[in-house]
Amino acid sequence: MADQLLSTVTYHETLPENYVRPESQRPRLTQVISDANIPIIDLGSPDKSRIISQIGKACQSYGFFQVVVNHGIDTELMVKMMAISLEFFRLPPEEKAKLYSDDPAKKMRLSTSFNVRKEAVHNWRDYLRLHCYPLEEYVPGWPSNPSSFKEVVSTYCKEVRRLGFRLLGALSLSLGLEEEYIERVLGQQEQHMAINYYPRCPEPELTYGLPAHTDPNALTILLQQPNVAGLQVLKDGKWIAVEPRPNAFVINIGDQLQALSNARFKSVWHRAVVNSDTERMSVASFLCPCNTAIISPPEKLLAEGSPAVYRSYTYDEYYNKFWSRNLDDEHCLELFKGEKSQSGGLSGPCKSST
């Protein structure tokens, strides 16, 4: 129900019981570390081979990297995107209630936590989920309030998609493949967006904005609110705080690129924590394979003695499995290890996924 939205309450004095994690599952914020070696890539470097090498190493060691300069997206548009997102979540409760849904199958929905139908413990997050490609199909159903929402968000989506394909080309080359290989095998890629709102939390050490998870898609491009930290990634068994950088994007490798690269790339485990001082926003854009795309590593990556780590499957099969589980269950890719393909070589036109 819409009254579950956290953003309809000015401030919660105490953490509701259904958000409190068991002792063993709490974030242990005092144990989080900083890492000055988080990969930062300059896509404008004249040495293209160096860019490709840096991206490949980052995806193998961290599973993510930051693009701070020369990503091709105007900083004014980034500022507008963050501003319109915050304006949306500050709309009156009765306005937001019209958009609320806890049905993961809906192409546009305002909801809370992650999957409230299945969770035992909720997450300290509201979010607006949008399908973004093709834009002409989905924009008419997007919120009309704020008045400039459709214009700003659709412009942002186009630019992010262009950046995503540019990065997929570099990822292909870093694996020794043709530049167009990953884009081609993923098919006519869908694009989704999650605009995340994390309110001030009275007891942030007891809950999460989002618990540890990997992304089920191919590539995630994250815009963080400046000056408000919350994203953390797991490396070598330790949680690392990813401090927001001005005008930067965080690029996450998703599960499909881990499978496609035969586990050379890491689908990074990450989480969002909250704080008691200020609200936080982020905008996550997801490039998703066509539902009928068959995810399987190319022969070139299957050297002798290095068989396929995961069985072949369609993205539709994977995505349905992902949404049937809780977010903090075991890695969904583990369910696809070492079996024969059950996809049956499906082919045909793409259909929309959630």
Sign of CA dihedral 334, 324, 256, 67: negative
Helix (H, G, I), strand (E, B) or coil at 101: coil
- Overall average pLDDT of the 312-325 stretch: 91
- How would residue 296 be classed by pLDDT, with cut points 50, 70 and 90? very high
Give the Cα separation of 118 and 124 in Å (integer): 16
Q: Render pLDDT for 178-219 as a digit per residue (tens, 0 to 9).
A: 999 999 999 999 999 999 999 999 999 999 999 999 999 999
Angle at 214 between CA 75 and CA 204, to 5 degrees: 75
pLDDT at 26 over 90: yes
Give the Cα separation of 172 and 182 in Å (integer): 6
Give the Cα separation of 4 and 16 in Å (integer): 11
Helix (H, G, I), strand (E, B) or coil at 251: strand
| Amino acid (one-letter) located at 220 | T
Res 8: pLDDT: 80
- How would residue 115 be classed by pLDDT, with cut points 50, 70 and 90? confident
Res 119: pLDDT: 86
Res 175: pLDDT: 97
- How would residue 301 be classed by pLDDT, with cut points 50, 70 and 90? very high
Higher pLDDT, 345 or 263: 263
Q: Render pLDDT for 270-292 as a digit per residue (tens, 0 to 9).
A: 999 999 999 999 999 999 999 99
Whether 181 contacts 260, CB under 8 Å? no
pLDDT at 98 over 90: yes
Helix (H, G, I), strand (E, B) or coil at 29: helix
Res 326: pLDDT: 74
Q: What is the DSSP letter of 310?
A: B
pLDDT at 53 over 70: yes
Tokens standing for residue 216: 């089920």
Give the Cα separation of 178 and 163 in Å (integer): 18
Q: Render pLDDT for 58-75 as a digit per residue (tens, 0 to 9).
A: 999 999 999 998 999 999
Give the Cα separation of 130 and 194 in Å (integer): 7
Strand partners, 280: 198
Sign of CA dihedral 58, 63, 69, 73: positive
pLDDT at 261 over 90: yes
- Overall average pLDDT of the 260-269 stretch: 96
H/E element holding 284? strand 280-288
- Residue 202, preceding peptide bond in cis (omega within 30° of 0): no
- Overall average pLDDT of the 94-113 stretch: 93
Q: Tell me, rounded to whole angstroms, the distance of Cα 292 from its chain centroid.
A: 21
Q: Return the number of other C-beta atoms located less than 10 Å from residue 152's C-beta.
A: 18
Res 329: pLDDT: 76
Nearest 10 degrees: Cα torsion 52, 63, 42, 85: 140
Res 13: pLDDT: 84
- Residue 146, preceding peptide bond in cis (omega within 30° of 0): yes
| pTM (whole model) above 0.85 | yes
